[in-house]
Chain A
């Protein structure tokens, strides 16, 4: 050891973690010409914090001015807007109203507006109650005032990172799943990382392990500069019958620790309410509680009274990789060819592309240079947004398997094939929306089990009928 240099096939960078951040970084580094190896511990990508979020593309209007978070959000927002047509990524241009329901909240609007202006979001405006009602007539009449932020939009939280992954793959990245990095050695030039998929070599490592970022730093660097404190956010999703009730994201006046409970359209045609903010020890368990879900549903009906009569389609929870501080924890360790991208708590979907540019800048700062790919391949992801054409509208789709979300057998086969096939039901749902509609599998679960068979890591049916 020590004498032999890096193996011929050593990657320039190994990225640990296939959340939205790791995937965006993989894409950026590949486009810049680096040889990238991405390692994910779970059977499929997006298994951690990136599995469940509010799906808002934030302007960054309320981010701390001058923060890295703010810079990455604005860069991420800009790049998403720029590349989305080429990658077939949807955008629902809803705008948001930050609504004040109390006198104290009304007073807080001025400071929020000032922050927005300081952040360069100059198209915000104050709305009087009549204007709030004119824009959203179904909203509770108790709104006292609002701040309109026209640039806040809704995206598909899963097709975006999937597109980053597919573009990275199409341009030469390798993604290994079921490849948890458990240990590593650095010999001054090259890292040797141990995974169940074998030992891999890379000159540099970027830790994007999300909820496990501190543990990976501790295991491989010997210490971590931060501690992850998972903060759970639960959500309730209403039936598509609610879609016509609301066109704008309704934000609350934020509290100390989070952005608060939001009411928002989804790109799939539902309305969601959430997230809560619950600190917990467990890094893996994104479970829900009946009382919390009931409270969320009740809160939603306070904001939008007609929701009281709308059925709930789904409930879920996501875990924020929060740390002791609000700011991102992006750390370079030049002596070890190491970059940690940690604590991307509640804005990572928006900021990922910007974080990726920032990380590449840090990497260049370590003295690395590559030649960018002149004409990168840009694979298009299937559209799942409700307001844009879907697969079932084109002949030859085989049959519709999931009736509520109109998912075709052609879409399911495509999701089970290709360079990054769905590995479990969650992955299949995120790639196709199968079983995510109002019947939650009443109609299609058995057919899905038969169609997917042994192709999923955990088959829907463990065995044949006895």
Chain B
């Protein structure tokens, strides 16, 4: 099957893993700062990271001084990196990190091997799925995270359900509501385990403006359905349960850094994105706490500036 000899290694200055706001910001600064071989590996078919599937505003205030949609924001960030001289390799998945700046990647043209002076990990964050939350019941279609719902709505223009329940009241739950509206779905309810909303006051009124009931102190104890979701069992903190008819469940937030590359290499980052291997560093939402796109972009720029200083020494 695979050839026994490893593919030839390409020597580069900088390898950025992930073309989201943080990775693209870092690549832009590093390329503009005079480094000639700045390569960004992105496993998706288009650059931009999460904002690519955020059909809603507001993005771009900090970076472009105007309010644009996530998709437009993603395009502009990629353009900026390319104009600065960085090269974005799409459909290219970083597979394993080696010590001292070695990385192997998969691409449709075959396996790639890189040696870089610095590797910037900017692989972002995802939401925890139903399984991680140990929510029991049947396993029908229609259960997903906000990220998947956004991809259905804005990238594929498909409706996975018409009347889902949304779990969580962080800001991202509002994104889930907007994505539902985009596909013509009407959320049946918002469920929150805590006694109050996880977003600040003015935004907390948002679901009610759309006529969506919000249940606090409530968890989903079971999902039921055959082929598709048919109903959920809700359990209130006082133990009272009831069922609610719906055809989908959106689990929002529950942030999990996309850190498997670093973990597999036995690396853990400090809050500045540094680890025990001086050739490897991290930026963006791969590092907690959760940040907006704009703030992730800032961390990418900041890290890039410090790499430039390092390499100039």
Whether the Cβ atoms of A285 and B138 lie closer than 8 Å is: yes
Whether the Cβ atoms of B151 and A446 lie closer than 8 Å is: yes
Whether the Cβ atoms of A465 and B158 lie closer than 8 Å is: yes
Where chain B touches its partner, the secondary structure class is mixed
Q: How far is the CB of A300 from chain B (nearest CB, A)?
A: 12
Kindly name the residue among A403, A440, A464 whose own CB sees the greatest number of chain B CB atoms within 10 A.
A440
Interface membership of A292, Cβ < 8 A = yes
Interface membership of A121, Cβ < 8 A = no
A362 to B126, CA, bound (A): 55
Interface residues in A266-307 (C-beta closer than 8 Å to B): 285-294, 297
Residues of B within 8 A of A313 (CB): 131-132
Interface membership of A241, Cβ < 8 A = yes
Which B residues lie at the A interface, using CB under 8 A?
1-2, 43, 45, 91, 93, 106, 108-111, 126-132, 134-139, 141, 144-145, 147-148, 151-153, 155-162, 182-185, 221-222, 224, 227-228, 256, 260, 263-264
Interface stretch of the complex, out of A6-14, A64-72, A95-103, A386-394: A386-394
Interface stretch of the complex, out of A125-133, A185-193, A247-255, A455-463: A455-463
New A-B pairs, 18, CB < 8 Å, besides A400-B91, A442-B127 = A237-B131, A285-B138, A287-B138, A316-B139, A395-B109, A399-B108, A439-B129, A440-B129, A440-B132, A441-B144, A441-B145, A443-B148, A447-B155, A462-B228, A465-B157, A465-B184, A466-B159, A466-B184
Whether the Cβ atoms of A394 and B1 lie closer than 8 Å is: yes
Residues of A within 8 A of B183 (CB): 465-466
Q: A389-B1, A393-B106, A466-B184 are in contact. Are A449 and B129 (CB under 8 A)?
A: no
Whether the Cβ atoms of A400 and B43 lie closer than 8 Å is: yes
Whether the Cβ atoms of A288 and B126 lie closer than 8 Å is: no
Residues of A within 8 A of B264 (CB): 241
Whether the Cβ atoms of A314 and B131 lie closer than 8 Å is: yes
Partner of A399, one of B45, B151, B185, B263: B45
Chain A residue with Cβ nearest B134: A293
Interface membership of A406, Cβ < 8 A = yes
Whether the Cβ atoms of A425 and B141 lie closer than 8 Å is: yes
Q: Can you report 10 residue pairs joining A to B where beta carbons are below 8 Å apart?
A: A393-B106, A393-B111, A399-B108, A406-B106, A440-B131, A443-B147, A446-B158, A458-B141, A461-B152, A461-B158
Residues of A within 8 A of B156 (CB): 446-447, 449-450, 461
Whether the Cβ atoms of B159 and A400 lie closer than 8 Å is: no
Whether the Cβ atoms of B106 and A400 lie closer than 8 Å is: yes
Residues of B within 8 A of A460 (CB): 141, 158, 160
Whether the Cβ atoms of A393 and B182 lie closer than 8 Å is: no
Residues of A within 8 A of B263 (CB): 241
Q: A399-B108, A458-B141 are in contact. Are A463 and B228 (CB under 8 A)?
A: no
Residues of A within 8 A of B141 (CB): 425, 458, 460
Chain B residue with Cβ nearest A292: B136
Q: A293-B136, A466-B159 are in contact. Are A311 and B152 (CB under 8 A)?
A: no
Chain A residue with Cβ nearest B223: A287
Contact mask A309-324 → B, CB, 8 Å, 1/0?
A: 0011111100000000
Whether the Cβ atoms of B151 and A447 lie closer than 8 Å is: yes
Interface membership of A221, Cβ < 8 A = no
Q: A297-B134, A465-B153 are in contact. Are A449 and B158 (CB under 8 A)?
A: yes
Residues of B within 8 A of A463 (CB): 158-159
Q: A290-B221, A311-B256, A463-B158 are in contact. Are A442 and B108 (CB under 8 A)?
A: no
Residues of A within 8 A of B256 (CB): 311
